[in-house]
Structure 1
Amino acid sequence: MEEVSLRDVRSIWNLGNFDFVFSPATGSAGGLLCIWDTDFFQIGEKFAVHRFIAITGVIKNSGFHCGLVNVYGPSTDSDKPNFLSKLLEFLKSKDILWCLGGDFNLFLDQEEKLGLSMNVHLIDVFRDFIFEAELMDLSLVGGKFTWCNNRDPPTFVRLDRFLISTEFNLAFPGLLQKVLPKSFSDHNVVLLISEQSNWGPKPFKCFNYWLEMEDFEAMVLKTFKDQRKNSTAYGIESILRGTKKAVKTWSGTFLKNKGRNSADIAKEIDSIEAQLQQGITNPGSYESLRKLRSQLWAAYRKEESEWLQKSRLRWFSEGDRNTRFFHLTATERRRVNQIKFLKRGGEEISDPLVVKKMVKYHFSNSYNTTTALEVEDLNLDFCKLSVEQAFILEDRFREEEVWAVLFSSDSNRAPGPDGFNMGFFQKKLG
């Protein structure tokens, strides 16, 4: 492909307003064409380089600033390290978040190739490139490989993929790669999509920063008293059940009315400071700045606490502060743990309702009261507890033991599925 006209592009992209960049074929390297919807993406800069095209700009509906790169890597092994080196140099020259996609003619793991020999050294070279460029691979659904040589016996390889800057997960947490069915080409189309299935209501979770809020404490104390006064069941389970319901109602109202996030407050601070730098002062400007900075600090602490709990890091200690890292860790944990589909007789099932039924059926049949194996008359000499040991195990818990366990526990950990963590019990029962 040496030339592309506007008419050619219009025949491919028959969807409203668009723009494009074209890089012609050079030798054995095929040409590259990148097309985008101008109503969706506002272009900043565009680059047509040998073996890749890059554009930078803003996604209009979100204001997200990023760069997109269309890649076609060399097929000759000796050319691949030099290509990655030049691509890395270009990426590092721009202070921007990147999304790369295309045929890299490389793969990341031995499991990504089936058939013939493989160059293990180039796997390490490709991994080093991804690490140095601060990129990440994404989950792949719909298939394991993206290219086949259509010979007998065939060779299958995953040559095509998307790589994104890690911060892309903060803006688009549901991103994944989907392999589409292959037609006449020896390559499968790989689609980058943001897909978040509806798995129903999320489990209740109590966040530590709620515990520092006066109206939260007053609400919990009132609920405790009402539960003790109005309920016929005085057990802790009954009290917590009623408290959970009240906290969920409170959190819904709080989240609706909690006001601006840290980004909104920071923008207002920047606006006032810009006016002051130009000599424009209004009555109360300095007092407004003081209040806004106080609000910003409080917002940062709330966001930090929330994302720390979501990340479930065990090594965190007081003084470690990195909300961005906690956010990325929580997002990556959610991505890795996500059930995208289950297989049933070779068929991929992705509908959440059907997946839930399959999981329930599996565990209901695996864990039940049906005796799987009768164990009797084995004449085995099992070790036995002494009378003193049995007494200690069966002895009633003392109150001081309960309090000792409570206050020695990690405040971020939850002892059960009710959503209340140890911080809640330490704060409200201590």
Structure 2
Amino acid sequence: MTRLELFRLKSMWGNFHFDYALSLARGYSGGIISMWDPNVFVKERIWSDINYVFVKGRWIREDLVVYKVNIYAPQSRIDKPNLWNNLSNFMANNIGEYIMFGDWNAVRIANERSGTDFCAIDASNFNDFINANMLHEIPLGGLCYTWRVKGRDTWIERPNFDDMVKTEWAGISSSSNTHITVKLRNLKGKLKSWIAQSRCNEKAQLKSFTDSINDLDSVIDSGQATEAQIESRNALFQQKDDICKFDTLDSLQKARIKWDIEGDENSKFFRCSLKHKRKQQTIQGLMIDGNWVVDPVLVKNKFFDYYSHMFDEE
């Protein structure tokens, strides 16, 4: 695994304190990866194939031999029984506790299938595999399968997000007969509409702030600016930076994987990062003799005098 790919894993885990096992992508299969905390689980051996990654190790707290099995089952109805048989044979020949998870591409009952046709034969084979190996399904979130809204952090940080969610959820929840998954799906649609409208409003505000700053700059350059106009310009810069912060965070989240792969290529994200860093490092003004000075010439002269005096003393 390359260094860039390790940074990609770090972006998912949050730090470098992890261990992992993987099955590389083959053909149209996207590959499989398992990650864990080495302070909790210590690996001893790995088996991998196109449809699974077995990791044998020791669960430190309980001192148990555990097999963590990450599954990516095939779509083909012919290949699925072969996978169930291979998994069953492995479990029969390797004694220990098993934790199995992943994308099974199979359901146990018709109610779990939504949007596609239910195959009774597939379900029967899947249930036979589960029962034969005495596996127990963990009811995550109180349901067989947990569904959640994938909101981004930048959505949560935007103003009025909490109020919007509370208002929309109150309207959606008024129908007591609607299933929770339908309510969450409706909320997801409301969130998408809200963030799209918020971004349109932010673009309009950004243009308005930029135009106002340009007008004030013209007044300041002519030497006719008042203190109130200078303070207004600084306030507009702050408001503009607040909006630019959301745009930068959005670009970061959308391009994180692309950044890991392409590195320092001349991409939109790379240019946005440089622009944001340059803006952070730009000196907007300087306090000189108790007065806030924004004139670039006076600021440069003050820096020049300060460092000239410092070097003369040395």
Same fold? TM cut 0.5: no
* TM-score of the pair, normalised by structure 1: 0.33
TM-score, normalization by structure 2: 0.45
